[in-house]
Structure 1
């Protein structure tokens, strides 16, 4: 897709493809997709390092969301891979 962010165009694209759409590394895009209800599954890799600063995935004042934990995996280096889905019901 080329151009600016267009939630309706992304909705149409999602409906037109078989399988999933994967996005990696763009917190700004992911935040917009979450806000527009376009994220079905969220994979978070949690690294055991506390910097005390940095960009937040969920910005201050964002609406509360309660995703459902669908899976977790721990690695020998201490990284945790958490998979969340939209809450059902």
Structure 2
């Protein structure tokens, strides 16, 4: 007989909420943003600047490489492009 894991039977262990303690499946994704600061394209990781690029394409490629490393470790990540205001 296979033992039943009681923690995985609860809603919180399957769908964890950020900030709760004692959860076994808490996966908070790493968040990347690409934005133009008026001179250069910035890459931010969890709201902290990590790279600067002259071209938007290079910034996006940098984010994709970083996300692939995160995915390879089995963790989640997401990114967004911040619209440039005219």
TM-score range, shorter chain: under 0.3
Query: How high is the TM-score relative to the length of structure 1?
Result: 0.24
Higher helix share: 2
Name the TM-score, length of structure 2 as normaliser. Answer: 0.24
Higher alpha-carbon Rg: 2
